[in-house]
Amino acid sequence: MKVITWNVNGVRAVERKKELQQLLTTQDPDVLMLQETKGSPEQFSNYLKAHPDYRQHYACAEKPGYAGTSIWVRGALEETLDDVMFITDMPGNPNADEGRVSHLTFRQGGETWDLLSIYFPNGGKSEQAWEEKLVFYDRTHDLMNALRAEGRVVLVGGDMNVAHNEIDLARPKENDGKIGFHPSERAWMDRLIADGWSDVWRARNPGVTDVYSWWHLVTRARARNVGWRIDYFLMDKAQEKRVKRIDYLMDQMGSDHCPIVMEVK
């Protein structure tokens, strides 16, 4: 199963630029997780809501043009799955009206899978937004643990809005303590790793530098590769052996983020 996660910064924009079409053509994923879709199906083209090859599931924000997530599953694949259910929230979410969680669960081959496309809050608007971001982190961790405790295969992909360690951003000293590289956010990643969860790409590329997933648009940081690695795939460490390949598609344009592609058994 080839899975891609991508913060598109507006799904209609990447469609208009033909960048989404290029990604699907060149990568041909079985599952596509999107974040920051910024819209609802009634605003979308048939390509975005009635694609001939994919079943498209959306979690939309109540605020127009804001946040939102999605999971697309190849129709031929979804037809082979049992007990398919799409969930658009998680317990204890302080941002329940923002469409930040798309959760697809299904059974296949005697296993239950949970795929989560998550757009984590930035937390920079106010003190309340910062506190809600930390709660969102903890509630996500709780959900991951609860699903794993039931014997499910859990795969989380998305924009987590935190660079874990200094190696994960181009200018760690200048950004130390700032939102996105704050000790409280990084400590959440530490807790995940200590709890047996794997940042799959970093686990396979422990010393690799200069690989990022987000660049500041206004300063044209992408041309200089002054970026942050804030988009991830997370899995239970015990399940990591299923992964055949994982890469950041840094040449894919269309958004201020780049996609991650992973092939998993």
Cα–Cα distance measured from residue 141 to residue 101, given in angstroms and rounded to the nearest whole number: 13
Mapping DSSP to helix (H, G, I), strand (E, B) and coil, where does residue 240 land?
A: helix
Q: Is the dihedral of CA 240, 215, 68, 253 positive or negative?
A: negative
Does the annotation mark 159 as catalytic?
yes
Give ∠ CA 61-254-105 in degrees, rounded to 5: 45
Mapping DSSP to helix (H, G, I), strand (E, B) and coil, where does residue 148 land?
A: helix
Mapping DSSP to helix (H, G, I), strand (E, B) and coil, where does residue 156 land?
A: strand
> Considering only CA atoms, which of 209, 212, 231 is closest in space to residue 223?
212
DSSP symbol at 65: T
Cα–Cα distance measured from residue 78 to residue 58, given in angstroms and rounded to the nearest whole number: 16
Q: Which helix (H) or strand (E) holds 175?
A: helix 172-175
One of 28, 138, 142, 159 is an active-site residue; which one? 159
Q: Which helix (H) or strand (E) holds 15?
A: helix 11-16
- Encoding tokens for residue 71? 């999971």
Catalytic residue ranges = 159
